[in-house]
């Protein structure tokens, strides 16, 4: 297991493994003129290293270095769990989701043991324009907090939810309709990326319940935390299950928490920053442009507001910032691993023929089976698997817009291989399923909009790219290709002569 107390220990490991680099070259982080989206494109297209940006221009907190691209490859995401192989990592992630006896209840530290309490900013002194880093990516109009896990409790039952949600900051933000944000909003308010109208996440349910009860929702925002907590907070556990306990399973030991100063909420003790506040659902704010994970700018969204009442942070804190854009981007894979894990955890107990679930950076789902052709357990097995994906537990699979099922000879990580299977094993009408009524992935720009301007309903396509024996044929043309083992053996033979 990858047991790191905080993001700093993870970065130190990356440095030891040659996957981290300090950058002292001046880089622009200001609105409209920033170079950070370009840097993201450059490093992610090259599977580049994690970076620490030490010399940002147009940056309101120049004394706080900015971590960039720590999770930018499938390998580094696996390293967050102390592993290297993506399939082994997601299988372990999936196994631990249901191995409740291996979950660890969090360990509660005293205030003087918690690094996140080293510096205290009381309500009267809060001015996030000076105290919280603001960086811009691309043509985004506001800056975003993208490193935060949010802890809240069901206002009726008290059950805890821990989720990885982003927040909109108002300092130097351009309003999407030409209006202005107030100085008070710039100083101590955020807009929360919570989809609650209609509800599309567990914190959305918390917000909705609080709204119906006529009270704000108390919440705590912890920035830069242990990678296991980031992974757990992105996983679609059952409502009411504790993400901190699951993070303990991913770490192999309890997560260390500390009680907030002003709220009855516990947060990661080794976070860099903790912001304590309340979400006011009736306080709606129009925001935009926001760059989303399908590679488009959301021109306008409407989100509930959060007022920050208390801040604590570490001495000499660090910041982590990222963005979503045309994939791949930094946190693509640490966002996709929980999705793959939760689908695997649901499918494998009832369909043992499922080997792997690969979610592409563009959110396409590829399901690899251990059998194909005449070895499939029953007729139309590929279509059965497609329906199982759409009906699986968790938040994400029901929004899977594109699902392709392939056999064991197709590499689900190589889209050229998947395309070959589609082109040689699929008849477009007979081997596809179209679902006209599904839940949309909330930021899909092609789907109808909700009241918050998020996507609402969607259509889905499932492609059965297995060999159609016995459905259509009694036998199939043999594949003409060298095996991976043969290629590896020849590569070793030609080592030093033909290396690439």
| Whole-number Å distance between alpha carbons of 456 and 489 | 51
Q: Which domain holds residue 407?
A: 351-487
Whole-model pTM above 0.85? yes
For residue 158, the model assigns a pLDDT of 96
The residues near 338 (Cβ < 8 Å, ≥ 6 apart) are 93, 231, 232, 234, 235, 236
The stretches of 299-445 forming alpha helices (DSSP H) are 332-350, 381-390, 415-425
| Whole-number Å distance between alpha carbons of 126 and 315 | 17
Say whether both 68 and 198 belong to one domain: yes
For residue 159, the model assigns a pLDDT of 96
For residue 448, the model assigns a pLDDT of 87
Number of folded domains in the chain?
2
Say whether both 148 and 12 belong to one domain: yes
Q: Domain for residue 251, yes or no?
A: yes
Say whether both 116 and 249 belong to one domain: yes
For residue 452, the model assigns a pLDDT of 82
Residue with tokens 């990222």: 322
Say whether both 214 and 277 belong to one domain: yes
For residue 439, the model assigns a pLDDT of 87
- Token readout for 161 is 């939810």
- pLDDT tens digits for 332-341? 999 999 999 9
CATH code of the domain in which 172 resides: 2.30.110.10
Say whether both 183 and 275 belong to one domain: yes
Q: Domain for residue 336, yes or no?
A: no
CATH code of the domain in which 403 resides: 3.40.1670.10
- Is residue 316 within 8 Å of residue 333, measured between CB atoms? no
Say whether both 176 and 304 belong to one domain: yes
Q: Domain for residue 340, yes or no?
A: no
Q: Domain for residue 25, yes or no?
A: yes
For residue 1, the model assigns a pLDDT of 59
For residue 195, the model assigns a pLDDT of 85
Say whether both 72 and 186 belong to one domain: yes
Say whether both 359 and 316 belong to one domain: no
For residue 2, the model assigns a pLDDT of 66
Say whether both 195 and 278 belong to one domain: yes
List 150's β-bridge partners, or say none: 163, 221
Which of 298, 320, 342 finishes a domain? 320
Residue ranges, the chain, pLDDT below 70: 1-2
User: How many residues would you count in the chain?
Assistant: 500
| Whole-number Å distance between alpha carbons of 322 and 210 | 30
Burial pattern 291-322, b for ≥16 Cβ within 10 A else e, equals: bbbbebbbebbbbbbbbbbbbbbbeebbbbbb
Q: At what angle do helices 332-350 and 381-390 cross, to 10 degrees?
A: 120
Say whether both 68 and 212 belong to one domain: yes
Q: Compute the Cα dihedral for 24, 25, 28, 34 and give only its sign.
A: negative
- pLDDT tens digits for 36-92? 999 999 999 999 999 999 999 999 999 999 999 999 999 999 999 999 999 999 999
């Amino acid at each position: 297991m990858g047991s790191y107390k905080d993001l700093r220990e993870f970065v130190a490991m990356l440095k030891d493994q040659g996957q981290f680099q300090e950058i002292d070259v001046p880089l622009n982080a200001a609105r409209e003129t920033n170079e950070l989206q370009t840097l993201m494109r450059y490093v992610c297209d090259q599977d580049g290293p994690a970076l620490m940006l030490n010399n940002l221009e147009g940056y309101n907190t120049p004394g706080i270095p900015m971590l960039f691209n720590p999770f930018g490859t499938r390998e580094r995401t696996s390293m967050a769990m102390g592993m290297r192989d993506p399939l082994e990592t997601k299988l372990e992630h999936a196994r631990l989701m249901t191995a409740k006896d291996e979950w660890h209840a969090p360990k509660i530290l005293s205030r003087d043991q918690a690094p996140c309490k080293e510096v205290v900013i009381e309500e009267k002194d809060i001015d996030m324009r000076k105290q919280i880093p603001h960086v811009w990516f691309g043509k985004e109009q506001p800056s975003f907090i993208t490193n935060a896990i949010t802890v809240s409790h069901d206002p009726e039952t008290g059950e805890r939810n821990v989720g990885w949600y982003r927040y909109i900051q108002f300092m130097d933000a351009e309003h999407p309709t030409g209006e202005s944000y107030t100085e008070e909003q710039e100083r101590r308010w955020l807009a929360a990326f919570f989809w609650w109208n209609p509800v599309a996440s567990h914190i959305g349910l918390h917000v909705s319940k609080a709204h119906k009860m006529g009270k704000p929702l108390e919440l705590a925002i912890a920035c830069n935390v242990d990678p296991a907590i980031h992974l757990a907070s992105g996983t679609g556990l059952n409502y009411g299950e504790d993400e901190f306990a699951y993070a303990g399973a991913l770490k192999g030991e309890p997560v260390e928490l500390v009680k907030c100063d002003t709220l009855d909420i516990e947060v990661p003790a080794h976070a860099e920053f903790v912001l304590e506040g309340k979400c006011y659902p009736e306080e709606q704010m129009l925001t935009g442009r926001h760059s989303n994970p399908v590679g488009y700018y959301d021109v306008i969204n409407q989100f509930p507001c959060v007022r920050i009442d208390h801040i604590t942070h570490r001495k000499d804190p660090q910041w982590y910032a990222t963005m979503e854009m045309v994939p791949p981007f930094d946190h693509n894979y640490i966002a996709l691993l929980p999705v793959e894990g939760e689908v695997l955890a649901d499918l494998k107990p009832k369909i043992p023929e499922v080997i792997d679930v690969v979610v592409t950076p563009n959110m396409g789902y590829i399901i690899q089976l251990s059998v194909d052709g005449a070895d499939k357990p029953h007729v139309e097995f590929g279509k059965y698997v497609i329906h199982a994906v759409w009906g699986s537990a968790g938040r994400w699979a029901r929004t899977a817009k594109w699902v392709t099922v392939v056999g064991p000879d197709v590499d689900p990580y190589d889209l050229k291989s998947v395309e070959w299977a589609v082109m040689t094993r699929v008849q477009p009408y007979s081997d596809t399923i179209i679902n006209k009524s599904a839940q949309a992935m909330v930021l899909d720009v092609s789907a109808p909009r909700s009241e918050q301007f998020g996507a609402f309903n969607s259509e889905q396509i499932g492609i059965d790219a297995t060999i159609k024996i016995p459905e259509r044929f009694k036998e199939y043309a043999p594949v003409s290709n060298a095996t991976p083992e043969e290629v590896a053996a020849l590569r070793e033979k030609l080592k030093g002569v033909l290396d690439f």
